[in-house]
Structure 1
Amino acid sequence: MSSTTTHTLAPAPFGWRTTPQQTASAVTATPTPSAMTLAAAIACIVLVAMDLRPGIVSIGPMLEQIRGEFGISNTQASLLTVIPNVLMGLLALPTPWLARRFGRDRVVLAALAVLGVATLLRAFVGTTALLLVTTAGVGAGIAVAGALISGFVKARFPRHVSLLMGLYAMSLGLGSTLAAAITGPLAAHGGGWRLGTGFWALPGLTAIAAWLYVARSERRLPAQPVALADAAHAHPARSSKAWLVAFYFATNNFLFFGLLSWLAPMYREFGATHTTTVLALASFTTTFMLANPLPALLGKSDDRRGVIGLFAGIALVGLCAMAVAPNLAPLVTIPLIAGGIGGSFALGMTLPLDHTSSADEANSWTSFVLFIGYLLGALGPLTLGLLRDLTGSFHVAVWALVAAGTLMFLLAPFLAPNRPRPA
Structure 2
Amino acid sequence: MSVKSVPIKRDVTPGLAYPALAGSDVRAPSVAAVVVCILLVALTLRPGIVSMGPLLTAIIDELGLTHTQASLLTAIPTLLMGLLALPAPWLAHRFGRDRIILLALIVLGAAIILRALAGSIGQLFASTAAVGAGIAVAGTLFSSYVKARSPNRIALFMGIYATAIGLGSTVAAVATGPIDQLIGDWRWAGGFWVLPALLAIMAWVGIEHRSLRAPVSTSSTQVPRMPLRNPTAWLIALFFACNNLVFYALIAWLAPMYIERGESASSAGLILASYTLGFMLANPVFGLLSRSDDRRLLLAASSSIALLGSLAMAVAPDAMPLVTAAIAAFGTGGAFTLGMTLPLDNASTPEEAGAWTAFVMLQSYLVGAAGPLLVGYLRDSAGHFQSALWLLVAVGALMLLVTPFLQPYHKRKLKRCGCG
**Fold-level match, TM-score > 0.5?**
yes
1:291 alignment partner in structure 2? 282
1:372-396 Cα deviation digits (max 9, x unpaired): 1111122223444555666676555
Provide the C-alpha distance between the structure 1 equivalents of 2:95 and 2:59, rounded to a whole number of angstroms.
Answer: 37
2:38 is aligned with 1:45: yes
Query: Does structure 1 conserve the Cα–Cα contact (< 8 Å) formed by 2:26 and 2:210?
Result: no
1:82 alignment partner in structure 2? 75
Provide the C-alpha distance between the structure 1 equivalents of 2:49 and 2:223, rounded to a whole number of angstroms.
Answer: 37
Provide the C-alpha distance between the structure 2 equivalents of 1:71 and 1:390, rounded to a whole number of angstroms.
Answer: 17
2:114 is aligned with 1:114: no
Q: CA deviation at 1:315?
A: 2.1
2:311 is aligned with 1:304: no
Q: Which runs of 5+ in 2 are unaligned?
A: 1-10, 16-24, 415-420
2:50 is aligned with 1:57: yes
Query: Does structure 1 conserve the Cα–Cα contact (< 8 Å) formed by 2:344 and 2:353?
Result: yes
Query: Does structure 2 conserve the Cα–Cα contact (< 8 Å) formed by 1:254 and 1:377?
Result: yes
Query: Does structure 2 conserve the Cα–Cα contact (< 8 Å) formed by 1:314 and 1:340?
Result: yes
2:201 is aligned with 1:208: yes
Q: CA deviation at 1:232?
A: 7.1
- Secondary structure of residue in 1 paired with 2:208: helix
For 2:339, the aligned partner's letter is G
Provide the C-alpha distance between the structure 2 equivalents of 1:180 and 1:267, rounded to a whole number of angstroms.
Answer: 14
2:305 is aligned with 1:314: yes
What pairs with 1:3-402 in structure 2 (closer than 5 Å)?
5-7=12-14, 35-66=28-59, 76-190=69-183, 192-216=185-209, 218=211, 231=222, 233-263=224-254, 280-323=271-314, 330-386=321-377, 396-402=387-393
Q: CA deviation at 1:138?
A: 1.6
Q: Which moved more, 1:189-198 or 1:272-281?
A: 272-281
Q: Which moved more, 1:273-282 or 1:177-186?
A: 273-282
Provide the C-alpha distance between the structure 1 equivalents of 2:379 and 2:127, rounded to a whole number of angstroms.
Answer: 33
Q: Which runs of 5+ in 1 are unaligned?
A: 9-31
- Secondary structure of residue in 2 paired with 1:303: coil
Shift in CA distance, 374/129, structure 1 to aligned 2, threshold 3 Å: same
For 1:102, the aligned partner's letter is F
Shift in CA distance, 398/81, structure 1 to aligned 2, threshold 3 Å: closer
Q: CA deviation at 1:188?
A: 4.5
Provide the C-alpha distance between the structure 2 equivalents of 1:358 and 1:379, rounded to a whole number of angstroms.
Answer: 32
Query: Does structure 1 conserve the Cα–Cα contact (< 8 Å) formed by 2:173 and 2:273?
Result: no
Q: CA deviation at 1:318?
A: 3.4
Q: CA deviation at 1:351?
A: 0.9
What CA RMSD, in Å, does the superposition of the two structures yield over aligned residues? 3.6
Query: Does structure 2 conserve the Cα–Cα contact (< 8 Å) formed by 1:34 and 1:157?
Result: no
- Secondary structure of residue in 2 paired with 1:158: coil
For 2:136, the aligned partner's letter is A
Provide the C-alpha distance between the structure 1 equivalents of 2:398 and 2:272, rounded to a whole number of angstroms.
Answer: 24
Provide the C-alpha distance between the structure 2 equivalents of 1:33 and 1:292, rounded to a whole number of angstroms.
Answer: 33
Query: Does structure 2 conserve the Cα–Cα contact (< 8 Å) formed by 1:5 and 1:225?
Result: no
For 1:352, the aligned partner's letter is P
1:169-213 Cα deviation digits (max 9, x unpaired): 221222222223333444445483333222322222221122224
Provide the C-alpha distance between the structure 2 equivalents of 1:133 and 1:273, rounded to a whole number of angstroms.
Answer: 31
Q: CA deviation at 1:399?
A: 3.8
For 1:152, the aligned partner's letter is Y
Provide the C-alpha distance between the structure 1 equivalents of 2:323 and 2:114, rounded to a whole number of angstroms.
Answer: 42
Provide the C-alpha distance between the structure 2 equivalents of 1:127 and 1:266, rounded to a whole number of angstroms.
Answer: 25
1:46-79 Cα deviation digits (max 9, x unpaired): 1011112222233343445555655666555443
Shift in CA distance, 120/330, structure 1 to aligned 2, threshold 3 Å: closer
Provide the C-alpha distance between the structure 1 equivalents of 2:391 and 2:210, rounded to a whole number of angstroms.
Answer: 48
Provide the C-alpha distance between the structure 2 equivalents of 1:192 and 1:324, rounded to a whole number of angstroms.
Answer: 35
Identity %: 52
1:412 to 391, 398, 403: 403
Query: Does structure 1 conserve the Cα–Cα contact (< 8 Å) formed by 2:67 and 2:376?
Result: no
1:66-102 Cα deviation digits (max 9, x unpaired): 5565566655544333322221111111111111111
Query: Does structure 2 conserve the Cα–Cα contact (< 8 Å) formed by 1:34 and 1:156?
Result: no
Provide the C-alpha distance between the structure 1 equivalents of 2:142 and 2:31, rounded to a whole number of angstroms.
Answer: 15
Shift in CA distance, 232/297, structure 1 to aligned 2, threshold 3 Å: same
For 2:335, the aligned partner's letter is S
- Secondary structure of residue in 1 paired with 2:347: coil
Work out the number of aligned pairs and report it: 393
Q: Which moved more, 1:116-125 or 1:86-95?
A: 116-125
Provide the C-alpha distance between the structure 2 equivalents of 1:185 and 1:327, rounded to a whole number of angstroms.
Answer: 23
Query: Does structure 2 conserve the Cα–Cα contact (< 8 Å) formed by 1:272 and 1:327?
Result: no
Q: CA deviation at 1:121?
A: 3.1
The TM-score with structure 1 as length reference comes to: 0.80
